[in-house]
Structure 1
Amino acid sequence: MPKNPEYDRCQLNPHNPFIVCVVHPTEPNSDRCLDFRPAAEPDEPDKEWTPEGTRLVNGDLVLERPTYDGEPVPMPRQQFTPEEKLEVLDFHPMFTGRCPQCEMPFPKYKTPPMHWDCPQCGWRDDSV
């Protein structure tokens, strides 16, 4: 049975291909339905709903300002610049397995030590 296209905009539309309407399962008797209720249009149709204090960035939910129990949480300052972070990755013995001064290899540990100090040249890890 063909549906009237107007029925897709009705609040009573069950969105079921086998039922035309919740009130009139087989279709109303006349051309015009007396129970027709237009569905409410969203305020911003292309904007997705997000919880308060968040926004969508490339489809990911991102906190605008973190809160705990309704109170704003201060954001910690970044300790290192991106360049300093890359330098640590390139030269620190935890990532390279070698002393950054004399290139002496460090033994492999199951859990890394707290301090990386080189017994060969005396280099000391001052990051901790």
Structure 2
Amino acid sequence: MPKIPQCDRCLLYSHNPHLVCVAHPAGPQGDSCLDFRLDPNAEPAELWEPQGANYYNGELIVQPRQRWTSEEQLELLDWHPMFTGKCPQCGASFDRDWSARVHWDCECGWMDDTV
């Protein structure tokens, strides 16, 4: 029987395996229901977040797989010129034009291979 996620929280939901609700016994047509009435006694839906996913505006978003671990990302703060303003190889200072810079290659030959 077709059912939408809101059915379990609707006042008209029958809690019957053979009938979805009083207004639409066979289930609503489409992705929404014009007869939806929030049941004040309905239990709130548990927002379970699997590892690597978060809820954003009520929708579960799976985060892309990161190629760096959390420890490696924190270590990056200590040496990358984007955060230090200096070349990790020779110590030369970079211009502080953070918003315009895409590559952090230095004149000494050090090349940013993090992107």
Q: TM-score, normalised by structure 2?
A: 0.48
Ranked by relative contact order (alpha carbons within 8 Å, sequence separation 6 or more), the top structure is 2
